[in-house]
């Protein structure tokens, strides 16, 4: 009897202890083992699509790319040197471009409408690129910020509201290093023994943007020259995850020191335009540009240099099928415009997603990523409330005789096949060499649910 009571009270104590541990928030330590163990907030994987914005003083010359200053004065690229010699007085400095970064036609509400029309679920703005110019009134970027020079506005603050009002998350890109900052160059000469730049610039900036704007993403960059120990990255991330005002919701990437890319942090970015084509075992993001050769606005770009909507959908399909998110970059002009070529691409994407978003948002990779027989078919899937799985095939080319061969889909007697946006079920039959053959509907252009790519939905019997 006594033993039973004792056992019962022991059970109660252990239950209480368990509850207590369960309720206590996890604390992250400033080391990669601990930082890497944090689960990625679920909103990020569900969102799938974001808009990247590269905007800054580099948008004024808008020549070559956002690396203009470095190309001109860092490596003295002849094309850039000649452009400056031909068009600017001798002795003209990069800082003199800043007053021309006027943003005089910038309308944050309009930008947010354009971004939202693309179907994107988050927006990431360059709060500071490698040139060091901050788009917010930073206390540690004296006279080199958008409030003191150029637009005379808090551009970060102005964009955050309208983006969030439309239900999108708001993230900030931030460059750890600056090409020409004297303190950074001094630390570099000391082989990273001193940390003057990190102490007086990088860290204060990161704390400022988190506390002032509560970003949903910190998209770190400019990490590659110095070790993460120089940047104090794990200390910052431990604060971000334990104590910051966004500790439970913020998402970060993997650019926190020269050995962290594709290894540590939040989701992986690996290389710019990363699109591995095979399933990855860690959440990742493909950050890519609509202008193939530049992130910042490039005045010399031309039509062939911009991705078509078909190319954009191809990248979207392969990225999402393999477990990635797509971050699509636009480069606004110095006066604050998103040019029609970017706007058109984003609106076309939104039109497509209105019909086919079911195959993208909150989807999961399937057993197969692309079809093993027909090229340019990418699969996604979704588990439904009743526990069965729907499979989606994103078809990027309409088959010649309306007969679509899919070797990766196993025929099942009660399987139904639909095209998203089209009411009638599609006929299908087993394919003699394995898989299925789906009869694509003979539709007039007027009745096509979408252009450029189509989604087939396979519903297996429960």
Ligand X SMILES: *[C@@H]1O[C@H](CO)[C@@H](O)[C@H](O)[C@H]1NC(C)=O
**Interface pick for ligand X out of 51, 203, 218, 328 (rule CB under 6 A):** 203
CA pair distance 147, 142, nearest whole angstrom:
10
Residue 131 contacts residue 146 (beta carbons within 8 Å)? no
Q: Should residue 164 be labelled a site residue for ligand X when binding is judged by CB under 6 A?
A: no
Q: Should residue 440 be labelled a site residue for ligand X when binding is judged by CB under 6 A?
A: no
The least distance separating ligand X from the CB of residue 189, rounded to whole angstroms, comes to 17
Nearer to ligand X, 8 or 27 (CB): 27
The least distance separating ligand X from the CB of residue 14, rounded to whole angstroms, comes to 35
**Interface pick for ligand X out of 100, 153, 164, 166 (rule CB under 6 A):** 166
Task: Supply the DSSP symbol for 70.
Answer: I
- Token pair of 27, please? 């604390």
Residue 113 CB: number of other CB atoms within 10 A? 13
**Interface pick for ligand X out of 152, 277, 344, 412 (rule CB under 6 A):** 277
CA distance readout (Å), 33 to 36, 81, 234: 5, 46, 10
The least distance separating ligand X from the CB of residue 11, rounded to whole angstroms, comes to 41
The least distance separating ligand X from the CB of residue 430, rounded to whole angstroms, comes to 19
> Can you state the angle between helices 340-356 and 309-321, rounded to 10 degrees?
50
Q: Should residue 208 be labelled a site residue for ligand X when binding is judged by CB under 6 A?
A: yes
Stretch that binds ligand X, among 49-57, 112-120, 172-180, 388-396 (CB under 6 A): 112-120
- The count of C-alpha atoms lying within 13 angstroms of the C-alpha of 97, restricted to the half-sphere facing its C-beta, is 19
CA pair distance 311, 328, nearest whole angstrom:
12
CA pair distance 117, 109, nearest whole angstrom:
12
**Interface pick for ligand X out of 41, 77, 110, 443 (rule CB under 6 A):** 110
Nearer to ligand X, 305 or 308 (CB): 305
Nearer to ligand X, 103 or 137 (CB): 137
Q: Should residue 278 be labelled a site residue for ligand X when binding is judged by CB under 6 A?
A: yes
Residue 368 contacts residue 379 (beta carbons within 8 Å)? yes
Count of residues that bind ligand X according to CB under 6 A:
31
The end-to-end CA distance of the chain, in Å, is: 51
CA pair distance 451, 443, nearest whole angstrom:
12
CA pair distance 28, 439, nearest whole angstrom:
54
The least distance separating ligand X from the CB of residue 90, rounded to whole angstroms, comes to 27
Stretch that binds ligand X, among 50-58, 75-83, 192-200, 331-339 (CB under 6 A): 192-200
Q: Contacts with ligand X in 287-346 (CB under 6 A)?
A: 293, 300-302, 304-305
Q: Should residue 27 be labelled a site residue for ligand X when binding is judged by CB under 6 A?
A: no
Q: Should residue 182 be labelled a site residue for ligand X when binding is judged by CB under 6 A?
A: no
The contact pattern for ligand X, residues 51-90, with x = CB under 6 A and - = no contact, is ----------------------------------------
- Token pair of 243, please? 């104590």
Nearer to ligand X, 56 or 435 (CB): 435
Number of H helices, E strands in the chain: 14, 14
Q: Contacts with ligand X in 132-151 (CB under 6 A)?
A: 136-139
- Token pair of 45, please? 């994987």
**Interface pick for ligand X out of 212, 426, 437, 439 (rule CB under 6 A):** 212
Stretch that binds ligand X, among 40-48, 70-78, 103-111, 440-448 (CB under 6 A): 103-111
Nearer to ligand X, 373 or 459 (CB): 373
The least distance separating ligand X from the CB of residue 413, rounded to whole angstroms, comes to 27
The least distance separating ligand X from the CB of residue 436, rounded to whole angstroms, comes to 15
- The count of C-alpha atoms lying within 13 angstroms of the C-alpha of 196, restricted to the half-sphere facing its C-beta, is 12
The least distance separating ligand X from the CB of residue 417, rounded to whole angstroms, comes to 20
CA distance readout (Å), 385 to 382, 390, 462: 10, 11, 11
The contact pattern for ligand X, residues 384-423, with x = CB under 6 A and - = no contact, is ----------------------------------------
Dmax of the chain from CA atoms?
98
Nearer to ligand X, 275 or 459 (CB): 275
Q: Should residue 113 be labelled a site residue for ligand X when binding is judged by CB under 6 A?
A: yes
Nearer to ligand X, 19 or 185 (CB): 185
Residue 455 contacts residue 352 (beta carbons within 8 Å)? no
Q: Contacts with ligand X in 352-381 (CB under 6 A)?
A: 370-372, 375
CA distance readout (Å), 390 to 282, 350, 366, 386, 444: 23, 23, 9, 11, 27
Per the DSSP assignment, residues forming a β-bridge with 251 are 217
Residue 273 contacts residue 60 (beta carbons within 8 Å)? no
Which residue, among 441, 317, 259, has the nearest Cα to 48 in the 3D structure? 317
Strands 49-53 and 324-330: parallel
Residue with the CB atom nearest ligand X in the bound state: 277
* Site residues, ligand X (CB under 6 A): 107, 109-110, 113, 116, 119, 136-139, 166, 195, 198-199, 203, 208, 212, 232, 235, 277-278, 293, 300-302, 304-305, 370-372, 375
């Amino acid at each position: 009897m006594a033993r039973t009571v004792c056992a019962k009270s022991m059970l109660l104590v252990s239950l209480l202890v368990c509850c207590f541990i369960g309720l206590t928030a996890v604390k992250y330590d400033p080391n990669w083992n601990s930082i890497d163990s944090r689960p990625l907030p679920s909103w990020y994987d569900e969102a799938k699509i974001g808009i990247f914005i590269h905007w800054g003083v580099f948008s004024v010359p808008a020549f070559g790319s956002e690396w203009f200053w470095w190309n001109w004065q860092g490596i003295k690229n002849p094309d850039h040197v000649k452009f400056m010699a031909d068009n600017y007085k001798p002795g003209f400095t990069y800082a003199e471009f800043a007053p021309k970064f006027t943003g005089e036609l910038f309308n944050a509400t309009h930008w947010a409408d354009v971004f939202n029309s693309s179907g994107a679920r988050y927006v990431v703005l360059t709060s500071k690129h490698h040139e060091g110019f901050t788009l917010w009134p930073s206390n540690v970027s004296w006279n080199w910020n958008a409030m003191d020079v150029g637009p005379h506005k808090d551009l970060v603050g102005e964009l955050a509201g309208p983006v969030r009002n439309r239900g999108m998350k708001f993230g900030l890109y931030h460059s750890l290093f600056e090409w020409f900052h004297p303190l950074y160059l001094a630390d570099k000469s000391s082989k990273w023994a001193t940390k003057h730049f990190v102490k007086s610039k990088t860290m204060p900036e990161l704390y400022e943007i988190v506390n002032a704007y509560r970003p949903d993403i910190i998209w770190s960059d400019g990490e590659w020259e110095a070790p993460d120990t120089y940047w104090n990255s794990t200390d910052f991330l431990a604060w971000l995850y334990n104590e910051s005002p966004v500790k439970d919701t913020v998402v970060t990437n993997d650019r926190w020191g020269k050995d962290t890319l594709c290894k540590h942090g939040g989701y992986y970015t690996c290389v710019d335009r990363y699109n591995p084509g095979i399933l990855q075992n860690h959440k990742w993001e493909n950050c890519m540009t609509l202008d193939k050769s530049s992130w910042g606005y490039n005045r010399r770009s031309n039509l062939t240099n911009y991705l078509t909507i078909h190319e954009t959908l191809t990248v979207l399909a392969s990225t999402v099928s393999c477990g990635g998110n797509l971050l699509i970059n636009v480069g606004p002009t110095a006066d604050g415009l998103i040019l029609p070529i970017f706007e058109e691409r984003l609106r076309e994407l939104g039109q497509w997603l209105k019909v086919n978003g079911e195959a993208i948002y909150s989807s999961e990779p399937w057993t197969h990523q692309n079809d093993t027989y027909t090229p340019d078919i990418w699969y996604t899937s979704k588990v439904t409330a009743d526990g069965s799985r729907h499979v989606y095939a994103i078809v990027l080319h309409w088959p010649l005789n309306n007969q679509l061969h899919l070797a990766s889909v196993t025929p099942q007697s009660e399987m139904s096949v639909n095209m998203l946006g089209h009411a009638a079920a599609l006929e299908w039959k087993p394919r003699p060499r394995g898989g299925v053959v789906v009869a694509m509907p003979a539709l007039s252009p007027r009745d096509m649910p979408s252009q450029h790519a189509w989604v087939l939905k396979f519903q297996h019997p429960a």
